[in-house]
Amino acid sequence: MHIRPILSALSRHRASTLLIALEIALACAVLCNACFLIIQRLDNMRIDSGVDEASLAVVRLDGYSDQPANDLNARMLAGLRAIPGVESVAVINAVPFGQQAGAAGIFLDAENEHFGGVVDFYVGSPGSLETLGLRVVAGRAPQAADYQPVSNFVPEDAQVLVTRALAEQLWPGADPLGREFWLSGDRHFRVMGVLDHLAIARPGGRGAHSAEWSVFVPAQPGPQLLGNYVLRAAPGDLPRVMRAARETVARVAPTVVLDEEQTATLGELRERYFRSDRAMAGLLVGTIVALLLVTALGIVGLTSFWVSQRRRQIGVRRALGATRGDILRYFQTENFLIVSAGIVMGMLLAYGLNQGLMQQYELARLPAFYLPVGAIVLWLLGQVAVLAPARRATRVSPAEATRSI
C-alpha cells in the first residue's frame, strides 16, 4: 500500500481531516489522564490503614465541654467495657477514615529550621495500640511509664512510634530508633518504635505520598484526650455491640451529644470516606466511554461520507484490478494515518493537561507508559470504527460506480 496517494487524497479534505485528528487528540489527552486518575483513586481506596478494621468501631461524643474529663472518661470506659462481646476499649483522638484531630508540622531540629513535613498525631490511652491491632516492626511498644499527661493536644516530651513510611521520609536509609523531632516550640519527641502501617485520618488529602505519615503518641486520658473511644469486638458482634454502645451512652452520659456520623464501625467509616472516590472513578469511566463513542461515530461518519464521494474512484480502481482487500486496506491505512497524527497531538496535550492538574490539584506526574497504552486503544478504536464503511466500499463494483456518475 502506497502512502503518497493517500496523503494526496487527505490533502484535498484538510478541514474534515483536521477535525477528526483534533477529536482524536482530545480523546487521547482525556483518556490518558482520566485512566491515570482512576488508577490513583483505586490505589487510594486500597490503602492499608494498619489497624484491624473488621474488628473495630468508634464511639464519638460531642457537647461535653462542661463535663469533668476524668469522670466522663471513667464512666464511658466502664460502660463500654461492660457490653457483652467487647474485647477492649481505649481513648484516642482519631482513627483512620474518621475525623481529623491531630495534624501538625514537625521539625528535625530544636531551632525549627529543618522542616520535616505535616504529619498526623494519634494520641492514645493505655491499651489503644493493642485495641487498634497496630504492628510494631522495630523498637518497642509503649510501656506504662510512656503514657504522659497531654499538654496542648500532645505531651510536651514523649517517646513515640512512627510509621515505616514516615521514618523513611525523615531519615532515609538510616535507623530511626532514638531519632528526635520537634513541634514548633519546645515539644520534643524521641522515636522508640516503628509501625508497619498506620494511615493518616484523611489519607490522600495531602497527596498519596504522605498517606502514612503518622505518629502514635502514648498519653493519659484527660481534658485534652476524651470523647472519642475505639472499641474492639469480633466482626460478627460489631452490629450488636454498636447498638448496645448507643444505649450505653444514653445511660451513662445522658447530657452529652452522640456524634452519629462519626459513631460507626471502621468499615463504615472507610466506605463513607471513599464514597466520593468511587463516584469520581465512575464519572471518569463514563466520560471515557462517551468520548470514545463520539470519536468512533465521528470516524464512521467521515469515512462513510468519503466512501459515498469516492464511488467513481473506487470503481475505477476495481476496474484496474484492485481487489476488495486492496480497497479495505486503503481505508484502514488512511484511518491509521489520521489517528496517528491525532495521537501525536494528543500526547502533547496529555502532558499539558497533566501539568495543569499537577499545579492546581497536586497530582503526580503522568507516567509515560499511559501514552502508548492510549495510542494502542485509539488505533484499535479507529480500525474497528472504519471497518463497516470500508467494507461497504469493497462492495462497490466498476459498473455500479460508473452508473452513479
Q: What is the pLDDT of residues 72-121, one digit of tens each?
A: 999 999 999 999 999 999 999 999 999 888 889 999 998 888 999 999 99
Residues 371 and 307 in one domain: yes
Question: Tell me: the pLDDT tens digits for 197-208?
Answer: 999 999 987 777
pTM, rounded to two decimals: 0.82
- Residue 346 pLDDT > 50: yes
Note whether 288 and 390 are same-domain residues: yes
Inside any domain, residue 59: no
Q: Rg (Cα) of the chain, in Å, rounded? A: 32
Across the range 137-161, mean pLDDT stands at 92
| Structure confidence at residue 404 (pLDDT) | 46
More confident residue, 405 or 209: 209
**Which residues fall within 8 angstroms of residue 96, CB to CB, at 6 or more apart?**
49, 50, 51, 53, 198, 199, 200, 201, 203, 266, 269, 270
Residue of 378, 207, 291 whose CA lies nearest to 34:
291
Does 141 lie in the same domain as 23? no
Distances (CA, A) of 32 to 19, 41, 369: 20, 14, 9
The verdict on 236 and 329 lying in the same domain is: no
Spatial CA neighbour of 69 closest among 163, 175, 156, 149: 149
Q: What is the mean pLDDT of residues 56-67?
A: 88
Three-state secondary structure of 340-357: HHHHHHHHHHHHHHHHHH
Q: Does 266 reside within a domain?
A: no
Statement to judge: residues 250 and 342 lie in one domain: no
Domain boundary among 224, 255, 286: 255
Distances in whole angstroms, Cα of residue 113 to Cα of each of 64, 69, 108, 298: 38, 36, 8, 58
pLDDT digits (tens, 9 = 90+) for 160-194: 999 999 999 999 999 999 999 998 767 899 999 99
CB 386 within 8 A of CB 65: no
Tell me whether residue 261 is in a domain.
no
Which pLDDT does position 268 carry in this prediction? 95
Tell me, yes or no, whether 26 and 80 share the same domain. Answer: no
Is the four-CA dihedral 114, 116, 119, 123 of positive or negative sign?
Answer: negative
Q: Which domain holds residue 377?
A: 3-45+276-403
**Residue 273 and residue 261: Cα distance in Å, rounded?**
11
Model confidence at 42: pLDDT above 50? yes
Question: Does the pLDDT of residue 1 top 60, yes or no?
Answer: no
Higher pLDDT, 45 or 51: 51
Total domains present in the chain: 2
